[in-house]
Amino acid sequence: MPHEETSFIYMDHAATTAVHPKALEAMLPYFSEQFHNPSSSYLPAQKARQAVDAARKTVADVLGTRPPEIIFTSGGTESDNAAIKGIAMALRPQGNHIITSAAEHHAVLHTCHFMEKLGFEVTYLPVDSRGMVSVSDIEKAIKRETVLISIMLANNEVGTINPVAEIAAIAKAKAKSLKTHIAVHTDAVQCPGYLDINVDRLGVDALSLSSHKFNGPKGAGVLYLRRATPFEAQQTGGSHERNRRAGTENVPGIAGTAVALKLAAEERAANVEQTKALRDRLIAGVQQRIQGAHLNGHPTERLPNNINFSFDRTDSQWTLMALDEAGIGASTGSACRTASLEPSHVLVACGIPANLAIGTLRLTLGPENTVQEVDRVLDVLPGIIQRVRDTAPPVEAKP
């Protein structure tokens, strides 16, 4: 049971966020009195169509682009899938080479594995010990057959921010010299409310977002697709989303997404200032109070709300259970696999030993977190880590 003296402390915002009250308010009418299909021709349905159009313009304004370049999806996973498959398939007559990194989200990695089954060649670039992709490695990997580069803007586990604008500039320069088309996609799911996601400043041709990561609803997302970027629709049927994503639009989800994204953009400066201060307080406190705490990710080029530590001689499964009993919600950099822990592919890509990676804890903050909550975590975490070290049974670390 959670600690009786305090309310539950939520520090897992990289996993999901609560729907903002204003986003929920925007959604509610489209569940009831304005439930109509936006593709129908009668007046009430056209009001639903107007809501979708208004939301598309709002999202486009936040991203610094035009409404026709916005595709509404079911979330970040679909957006990643559609971008990689849709662009690569459309450019297949030119070439069959995709470049990505070994530390991408599984929505990208598993999609690239699928593309290999279709005959595409995929280069999985390494990352450094901090989880960052090398621009020079990107440049060296590009060849005449390269059609797509997919590199995440910020890592969901260790928080490291990649130099996507530099990567995009290199890709465009190489494409010009080769007289080919190389599209650049970025998974920016963790970034709204914390980083600049203006697509022109990033220089990308495609960008993925997931609404529930920035206080919008689950089951809704965005794919930005730059005008004239070759694209083959992966979900076919009707002519929805300008023939790029068939299926009746999720009007409530779209309305909520637009409001949440606009709020995230408007509140970004304040959110960054607040969460960065809390992040730095938490990192410093852990390093001062717990021996054998190893900070993962880049020390400065990281999301302002991300803390990721590996603790030696610990098992993160037991650490999370103890935190939950203390009323603290967090997550791990490792995926639980029955009685053993399989180290996170991101941590493995960073070169972190398996026996250290299985003791990883990720704490991701949100604007509602407080100094008091951070201090509460710092009060209980050292004791939890020590108890885990003293009592947890040995766990097999699979490489």
Per-residue pLDDT, averaged over 37-55, amounts to 92
Residue closest to 45 by CA, chosen among 60, 33, 59 = 33
> Coil, strand or helix: which one is 40?
coil
Q: What is the pLDDT of residue 337?
A: 37
Give the count of domains, the chain. 2
306 belongs to a structural domain: yes
3 belongs to a structural domain: no
Distance between CA atoms of residues 31 and 54, nearest Å: 17
57 belongs to a structural domain: yes
pLDDT tens digits along 160-207: 999 999 999 999 999 999 999 999 999 999 999 999 999 999 999 999
201 belongs to a structural domain: yes
Same domain (yes/no): 210, 303? no
pLDDT of 154 > 70? The answer is: yes
Choosing from 112, 191, 336, 350, the catalytic residue is: 336
160 belongs to a structural domain: yes
pLDDT of 398 > 80? The answer is: no
Distance between CA atoms of residues 108 and 373, nearest Å: 34
User: What is the secondary structure of 386-397 as a DSSP string?
Assistant: HHHHHHPPP--B
pLDDT band at 132 (very low <50, low <70, confident <90, very high): very high
Of 238, 266, 294, the residue that ends a domain is 266
Same domain (yes/no): 252, 279? no
Same domain (yes/no): 355, 372? yes
Same domain (yes/no): 261, 301? no
| Cα 134 to the center of its chain, rounded Å | 20
399 belongs to a structural domain: no
pLDDT band at 6 (very low <50, low <70, confident <90, very high): low
Same domain (yes/no): 229, 121? yes
Same domain (yes/no): 321, 359? yes
> Coil, strand or helix: which one is 201?
helix
Q: What is the pLDDT of residue 239?
A: 87
Q: H-helix or E-strand containing 234?
A: none
Residue closest to 335 by CA, chosen among 360, 313, 355 = 360
pLDDT above 90: percentage of residues in the chain: 90
More confident of the two residues 69 and 7: 69
pLDDT band at 256 (very low <50, low <70, confident <90, very high): very high
- The set of residues, in sequence order, having a beta carbon less than 8 Å from that of 96 and lying 6+ positions away, is 88, 119, 120, 121, 145, 147
- The set of residues, in sequence order, having a beta carbon less than 8 Å from that of 210 and lying 6+ positions away, is 75, 76, 77, 79, 189, 220, 221
Of 225, 250, 266, the residue that ends a domain is 266
Same domain (yes/no): 306, 251? no
pLDDT band at 274 (very low <50, low <70, confident <90, very high): very high
Q: H-helix or E-strand containing 124?
A: strand 121-125
pLDDT tens digits along 66-104: 999 999 999 999 999 999 999 999 999 999 999 999 999
Same domain (yes/no): 88, 108? yes
Same domain (yes/no): 109, 81? yes
Per the annotation, the verdict on 350 as an active-site residue is no
Same domain (yes/no): 227, 331? no
145 belongs to a structural domain: yes
pLDDT of 369 > 50? The answer is: yes
Domain that holds residue 232: 21-266
User: What is the secondary structure of 322-340 as a DSSP string?
Assistant: HHHHTTEE-B-SSEEETTE
Same domain (yes/no): 229, 329? no
DSSP state letter for 187: E
pLDDT of 334 > 60? The answer is: no
36 belongs to a structural domain: yes
pLDDT band at 243 (very low <50, low <70, confident <90, very high): confident
CATH number at residue 356: 3.90.1150.10
Same domain (yes/no): 189, 110? yes
Of 251, 266, 281, the residue that ends a domain is 266
Q: What is the pLDDT of residue 4?
A: 47
CATH number at residue 38: 3.40.640.10
State the chain's mean pLDDT as an integer.
94
Q: What is the pLDDT of residue 44?
A: 87
pLDDT band at 1 (very low <50, low <70, confident <90, very high): very low
Which of 45-49, 192-196, 369-373 is the least confident region?
45-49
